[in-house]
Amino acid sequence: MPEVTAVIDADAEMPGDASDASGEAEGQRPGMGRLRRLRQSNGWIFGTMLFSALLSLTASFVLSVDAVVLAADPQAALACNINAVLSCGTVGASWQASLFGFPNAFLGLVAEPVVITVAVASLGGVRFPRWFMFAAQIVYTLGLIFAYWLFFQAFFVIGALCPWCLLVTLSTTLVFTSLTHVNIRDGNLYLPQSVSRVARSLIAHDLDLLLVTLWLVGVTAMVVIKYVPLML
């Protein structure tokens, strides 16, 4: 019996929390409340996911084409190109760029269309089963880890950055954020009751937005601090 009440409680809490939060903000600034409600809406979350996944797919496509061109003409890869923005230690020619024996960008070509499908279907009102969204979360988390491993390899080891790889890093972060947002909101992650409640109320107060902004500002600062002085 108490368990049942708890479940009802938890379910009832989310909308209550959200309206509390927006109501509070509305008292101060009417526009903010509407913005915050928009941010919690399916349209916004899956719209962001769709947009980011499209960016990521585009970048993966460009990188894949580059990889094929380089494979066809190794001499093009094995030279320090004067005209390339970031010269020879090109990320594309490194072993990290094809960790699994084929260009990493191929993974983007495979994975991002799935994300795009999920986002479009969700925008159309489809609700995926809990296990499905949970699995998507696991796989995409691995993707995120891989994207940042590559970013740090390029940043600290290869010593060169390619603009398309940076776009992949950015869009992967945004897809991950929106996916996590929706999965916490809808309770898809099989988290313990108490953890789930805390996570939901943090999201209702937009702390996820704060965290992602902080993270992206930090990553951007790293890139700017390291590379902009070199270009001046």
Nearer to another protein, 114 or 221 (CB): 221
Residue 94 near residue 158 (C-beta atoms within 8 A) = yes
Binding residues for another protein, rule: CB under 8 A, are 75, 78-83, 87-89, 158-160, 201-202, 205, 207, 210-211, 213-214, 217-218, 220-221, 224-225, 228-232
Residue 217 CA to residue 100 CA, distance in Å, equals: 30
- Cβ of residue 79: shortest distance to another protein, in angstroms? 4
Nearer to another protein, 2 or 125 (CB): 2
- Cβ of residue 64: shortest distance to another protein, in angstroms? 23
Site of tokens 């107060």: 205
Nearer to another protein, 7 or 114 (CB): 7
Nearer to another protein, 117 or 213 (CB): 213
- Cβ of residue 197: shortest distance to another protein, in angstroms? 11
Q: What's the Cα-to-Cα distance from 158 to each of 49, 87, 95, rounded to whole Å?
A: 30, 12, 10
- Cβ of residue 161: shortest distance to another protein, in angstroms? 10
- Cβ of residue 126: shortest distance to another protein, in angstroms? 33
**DSSP string for 183-211:** HHHTT-S---HHHHHHHHHHHHTTHHHHH
Q: What is the DSSP letter of 161?
A: -
Nearer to another protein, 28 or 124 (CB): 28
- Cβ of residue 35: shortest distance to another protein, in angstroms? 15
Query: Of 72, 99, 85, nearest to 157 (Cα)?
Result: 99
Nearer to another protein, 139 or 212 (CB): 212
- What are the residues whose beta carbons fall under 8 Å from the beta carbon of 229, sequence distance 6 or more? none
Q: 171 burial class (0-12, 13-18, 19+ CB within 10 angstroms)?
A: buried
